[in-house]
Amino acid sequence: MAAPESGDGNNGAARMVTLISSDNTRFEVEAAAASLSQTLQLTILDGGGGGGDGIPLPNVDSATLSKVLEYCIKHAPAAANGGAPNATAVDRAELERFDNEFVNIDQSVLYSLIMAAHNLEIEGLQSLVAKKVADMIKGKSPMEIRRTLGFPDPTPEEQAEMNAHMLEYGWAYE
C-alpha cells in the first residue's frame, strides 16, 4: 500500500481501486493508473471501485488485464503530469523503451490488448498496439502481409483479385 505522501499518482493521493477480470481475478491498482481508461475514470470519479466492491470487467480476462495494468501503471505518472515538468528526455526515452518492449508479444495478445484498450478507452494503449500492427505491415507485399497477419491462403479467385488490384495501383501518382 503506497504511502499517502508519495509524489506519484497524486491524483486522489494514491487511492486504490479494485478491478475484477472476466475470470474473477481481483486486481488492486492505484486509481490514477486505472483512470488512464476513460470508462474507468468515470466510475472512479463516481466513487466506484473502492473498498470491497471492485469494478467488474466482464470483457477482459485476467491475463489481458494484468498486461493492461502494467501499461497503465507505467504511464500513470507521465499522464498525471501532463508531460511537464517531470517528463524529462530521460523519462520519455524510458517510456519509449518500455512501449517497444511492451508490444513485442504474440499477435493473439496484441489482439486482446487492442480490444481491451478499445473497450476501456485507453487511448495511448490503443494507438501503441495499432502502431505496432501498422509496423508489421510496413514494407511488405500483399502476400507477405497476409502471411504475417495469419490470413488463410488466398483462394484462386482471391489471388486473381489481388493480382488485379496490384496492377491497378501502379503508383504513378502525381
Partner 1 sequence: MEQDLALLLPDDLLADVLRRVAPRDLAVSRCVCRAWRALIDEHGLLRTDLLPLSLAGLFLRFAFVEYHEIEYAEPELFARPPVDIAYSMPTDLYDHCNGLILEYESVFNPATGGRAPLPDPPVSSRLELDDWRYFYFHQHLAFDPTVSPHYEVFMVPYVRYYFRLDVLPTDNVLLLQSEWPPSLWVLRVLSSRTGRWQERSFVREGEAAGTVAGLRSSCASDHAAPTAEDEEAGLHLLRALADGLLGVALHNDSRGLHLQNKKISYYAPPAFDAATATRGSRRRNAAVQTTIDLYIACFAVQMPSARATTLLELSTCAFRADSNTQGGTYPMP
Cα–Cα distance, 48 to 29 (Å, whole number): 13
Which residue, 79 or 115, has its beta carbon nearer to partner 1?
115
Interface pick for partner 1 out of 46, 108, 153, 156 (rule CB under 8 A): 108
126 interacts with partner 1 by CB under 8 A:
yes
Distance between start and end Cα atoms, the chain = 61
Residue with cell 486486481: 27
Sheet holding 55-56, edge to edge: 26-30, 16-20, 55-56
Interface pick for partner 1 out of 114, 116, 120, 125 (rule CB under 8 A): 114
111 interacts with partner 1 by CB under 8 A:
yes
168 interacts with partner 1 by CB under 8 A:
yes
Part in contact with partner 1 (CB under 8 A); list of ranges 4-12, 14-22, 31-39, 134-142: 134-142
Interaction residues for partner 1, span 136-165 (CB under 8 A) = 137-142, 145-146, 149-152, 154, 158, 161-165
105 interacts with partner 1 by CB under 8 A:
no
Cα–Cα distance, 32 to 13 (Å, whole number): 9
Which residue, 26 or 147, has its beta carbon nearer to partner 1?
147
DSSP assignment, residue 31?
H
Cα–Cα distance, 65 to 61 (Å, whole number): 6
Q: Are 64 and 106 in contact (CB under 8 A)?
A: no
5 interacts with partner 1 by CB under 8 A:
no
Q: Is the dihedral of CA 123, 121, 125, 28 positive or negative?
A: positive
Backbone angles phi, psi at 27, to 5 degrees: -120, 125
- By CB under 8 A, how many residues form the interface with partner 1? 42
Binding interface with partner 1 (CB under 8 A): 107-108, 110-112, 114-115, 118, 126-127, 130-131, 133-134, 137-142, 145-146, 149-152, 154, 158, 161-174
